[in-house]
Every structure is written in structure tokens, then in C-alpha cells.
Chains A and B, each alone.
Chain A
Amino acid sequence: MALKVTDLRVYYSSLAGDVHALDGVSFEVADGEIMGLAGESGCGKSSLGNSLVYLAGRMKYVGGAVQLDGAPLPIGDFEAMNEHRFTRISVVPQYAMSALNPTRRVGRMIKELLRSRGFDYHAIEPELLRRLELVGLDADVLGLYPIELSGGMKQRTVMVVSTLLDPSLLIADEITSALDVSTQKAVASMLVEFRDRGFVKSMIVITHDISVLYQVADTILVMYGGELAEKAPASEIVESPRHPYTKLLISSLPEIGVRYETKKLAGIPGTPPALLDPPEGCRFRDRCPLATAACRRRPPFQEVGAGHHVACWQVAA
């Protein structure tokens, strides 16, 4: 098991109190698994990604444990995480487009980064060039400033740099959202290729776009209001979702072929709950068409089929 997260709680401190961004999250990512993480904005998906790598600022580690390759990962200790970041767990952040230092040529930035971690650039350079070529970039990019690269090129450069030391886990946060469809396809396919070539053992791919996840992910985890709603193999989430939230989310996606004139789709009424003072019980209950009195208690995240977990009282095991 590459990653095992147990009852993770991470809150944001604010003047008004703690925002419960992650409220008791437990899941596992197997070796070689690409897990997609989906949900609306503000459901905690980026908080989950960030807390595994870079828990800083207003984020506060409250409880729970994270194990990477069987050894505990000290996510609550910012300093102690330094030896794991980039080497064992790495991230392609949401702002990857602006993650490159604008005042350094790409090559020099990589050199400085590796040196700061105690690695010899020249020993790694051949591999770097090989991987740049693999993602369709010329060795010339190393001599360019970030401003001279297009969005897709920057995205690919950051991906190559993030995975250069073959980490066990890569967290890719909304990396395809700002791209055009053809670039999006290229970058998303690259994620799978990196896993297949063993550059990265496992991945968590965060995006609000379930149709992209369906293309690249082995499993999909759906979050809602800082908690887990459903996790299952990608095809099962798309073909036979069990949680009412997942069902509504999937049915609200327009697909090529679906037209307003012939088939009017519906959104999900209401908004996600404020996590400053999250509601008791099932957090989806105010928007849920199936809610009953039973939903006033928090539903357990339980297995309802092989590899299929759901947190809903209305879904019988």
C-alpha cells in the first residue's frame, strides 16, 4: 500500500473559528494506483492534497495518521517533512503555470533546486533530458525563461521537475483545468505514461472534471463538505454511482450529443455547507433528495461492494 490515510483532520484557523476542511478522512492508495479526487469547490479536495505535502500557513494539523510505503509521514511537522518532499512525495500544484521562478532560466532553476536537496545535477541531467524529450520538449527549454514557454509547456516542465527523483506519490492538483482540450489530453495522458514508466509509483489526481478522471484514473474518490462521500473504481463511479451526491454530479455533466433542446439536464440545488460550523450528521442532507431522519447521524464510510465505499445511510451494504 503506497499511501494509507487514517482519520485525518486538518482545520484552517480563522478569526471566526476553525474551518473543518478535512474532518476525519480515511482511505488508501495502492501501489501503481492513480486515484482521482473529485468534488465541488470548497469540498476539501485541494486541502487534502496540500496537507499531504505542504501543511503550512493557516492550515492546522488536528489529528490522524498518514503512512507512505509503510512508514509514517510526519505531515504535522513542517520541518521534518523537508526530507520527504520532492524525494518521496511530490506535487504539481494548481498554480503550476506560475510555479517557475520568472527570474531564472528553467535549467538553472532545476540545478539550484537539486543542489538545495543535496543532489548532483550532472548525474541527473541525462535522465532530465530523456524525460523532457518524452513529454515532447526540446532540451532548449532549459535555456529559456518561463515567460518564453506556453502554458502547456510550463505545465509539462513542472511535471518533469516534480517527478525527477521518482517519488512514491505524486499529487497533481487541477493540472488540466486551465488548458485547451488538445493540451489537456496530452497532459492527462502524460500522467498515465509517468505511472506506467515507473517515474511515480502512485498518484492522486485532483480535478473537478470527472470526465478527465474517467480517462486517466483507476479509482475515483468523491469528497463532499470535508468528508469522503464515495470511492470506487473509475468505471463504477461513472456507470453505477451509489451516493446520491455522486449521482447528481454525474448527471449534471453535459456530454457531446446531449442537447438542451432534447434532454434538459439539471444542476444540484443549494450550495455546499459552510465548514466553519459544519452541520451534524450527513453533510449532504440539505441538498439530498433521499434524506430522511436517519441522516441526522453521520453515516459511516463503509464498503458496499468490492473496492466500493459509500458514506450514505440510504445505500444498503
Chain B
Amino acid sequence: MSALVELDACTKVYRVGSFGSGRLTAVDDVTFDVRSGEVVSLIGESGSGKSTIGRMILRLSPVTSGAIRFKGEDISAFGDRRLAEYYRHAQGVFQDPFSSYNPVYKADRVFALVKNAYFPHVDGATWRSRIEASLEAVSLDPRQVLHKYPHQLSGGQLQRLLVARALLLDLEFLVADEIISMLDASTRIDVLNLLGELKANGLGILFITHDLSLGNYISDRTLILRRGVVVESGRTADVFGDPRHPYTRSLLAAVPHLHTKWGPGTTTEARHSPTTPPALVTVGPGHLARVAQ
């Protein structure tokens, strides 16, 4: 299966400090791909560069070096028209559903904007049936959500509405950046299951999260990111079942479980290990980790 989205040695350096005198490497030489019909989770703590990667894929932020390809085409070369076409296929949903909406407009205006921008010639009746179909795909009842203001809807409903909006386009790739962090446990799982259904329909999804149990639940492959560097990647079952990098292990040890108590010890020492990591080496089929051989 060929890759839908490919990152090839992507690096992002931010200028920081007064007059941009400092340099901060947020993403350092990251290479991976996402195929159609697959959920890849990108797991990292705050400041690991995971959101920067999502933003670069959506071209909300340019890469400093390296290339991002969508179906083999370099996205940084896209002109306005080609970029609009790209956004027809690739969309993002972000963390805070409450601030993704304009509070003074009703929720259905979100859909009207899509029609104006992408489908100006589709007639009203056809458009309405498309909206209903995409709302149905995210398990929302059109009568319950349309004609409502954002504050009248729950966080889970708002997030699903954003996914429904993306589905109206010819969506092939979705960046889901912490989309369920702000939701209650009771609705979280519904949004996760929705991603699972979209995947079954052939969508490629990059699932960005800091929550290991959520990444483990939904994704096929996992990348563990630390300070902009991929320290371990592979099939989710391998990364979680047989973690090779000490950082992955320390993260897993810190996850609160329901039926087992935390072991003793803290994880701070793993956070301050040497700055020059060893190269990524293959430790199993499709399983890479930055460990000394």
C-alpha cells in the first residue's frame, strides 16, 4: 500500500528570544508515513513537537527543512489553487471545540462556509441531504444540532460536528490533534470509535495525543516523540507490548491504570538523559527505537 502522507526528514526550527536571536528545534528530522485506512498515533508530552508536526502537514506552518508529500506531491510547492484542492482532501480537528466555533453564529453556518468555498454550484436540496448524511456518519441527529448555537451543544457534539464538516469535503486524511482531551470520559470513547469507523471507510488519520491509553486503543501504528525526536515507532501492539526505549518505558510506567497501582519510583531521571540520542535502529519487524545496539 502506498503512503497517503509522507514526512521525509522534516525539521522545524523556531526563532525564539528577543529579535529571534535564539533557535529552538521543535521537530528534528522526523520521517514517517500515514496510509489510507490507517490510524497512526503521535504520542508525546507537552513541548515534544507533536502539534507542530500536525500543523506542518496541514501547511499551517512551513517546514524548515525536509519535505511533506501528499500522494507523492510536495505540499510546500502548492500554489493557492492547488492548496485549496489539498484542503478538500486533508483537514484538521483540534483540541478545543469551544473555541473552534464563532459563538455568534449557529452551528449550521459552519456547513454554509464549506458550501460557499468548495461547492458553490451544488443546489440547496442536494447540499442538505449531504449534510444529513455526514451528520449521520458521526452519529449526530440533524434536528438536534443544526439551528443551535455552539454553547447549546456539548463538547462531544461540537467535535463530531467538526468531523462532519470535514467529511463534507472529499476527505482522505484527517489530523486529529488532541481532539478528545477536553471531553468527558463518557463521550471520549464515542469520538474515538468514530475515528475507527472513518478508518474502516478508508480514511488515513494522524491521531495526536499525550494520552497513551487513547493512542493504544485506536491506532495501528504509534510514534513516540520526545523533544522533537522520534524515539520509538512501530506497530502499536509492539510499541506498547514490547517498548524498547527507556523513555517509552517510563511513560508507560507513569500511566495510571484502573486495576493496578503505580510502581515505586519517579520518572524524572528518564527526562534528563543525554542530548545526543543514538540513531533509530530496527528492533523488530517495522519496530524502530533509538537505543544503543
Contacts and interface: CB of A to CB of B under 8 A. Distances in A.
Interface residues of B, number: 42
Interface string A245-274: 000111011111111100011111001000
Which of A189, A249, A258, A259 has the most CB atoms of chain B within a 10 A radius of its CB? A259
A254 B255 contact: no
A253 B185 CA distance: 7
Contacts of B45: 180-182
Interface in B204-229: 210-214, 216-218
Interface in B149-167: 154-156
A181 B212 contact: yes
A312 interface: no
Contact of A253 (B196, B212, B237, B258): B258
Nearest to A41: B184
B46 A151 contact: yes
Contact of A259 (B154, B186, B216, B262): B216
Give the bracket for the number of chain A residues in contact with chain B. Answer: 35 or more
Contact of B258 (A151, A181, A250, A260): A250
Contacts of B255: 181, 256
A249 B185 contact: yes
Contacts of B261: 214-215
B190 interface: yes
A181 B212 CA distance: 9
A238 interface: yes
A93 to B, nearest CB: 18
Interface in A206-251: 208-212, 214-215, 238-239, 248-250
Contacts of B155: 41
Nearest to B261: A215
Interface string A30-43: 00000000001100
B65 to A, nearest CB: 28
A210 B185 contact: yes
Contacts of B257: 211, 214, 255-256
Contacts of A208: 184-185
A266 to B, nearest CB: 7
A276 interface: no
B189 A267 contact: yes
A185 B266 CA distance: 8
Contacts of A209: 185, 256
16 contacts: A40-B185, A151-B46, A180-B210, A182-B45, A182-B254, A184-B254, A185-B266, A189-B262, A249-B185, A249-B186, A253-B213, A254-B189, A254-B213, A256-B257, A260-B193, A266-B189
Given A184-B256, A259-B217, 17 more contacts: A181-B251, A182-B271, A184-B254, A189-B262, A208-B184, A208-B185, A210-B185, A211-B257, A214-B257, A238-B258, A249-B185, A254-B192, A256-B257, A259-B236, A267-B156, A267-B190, A268-B186
The list of the 7 closest CB pairs from A to B, nearest first, reads A180-B45, A268-B186, A254-B217, A267-B190, A182-B267, A211-B256, A185-B254
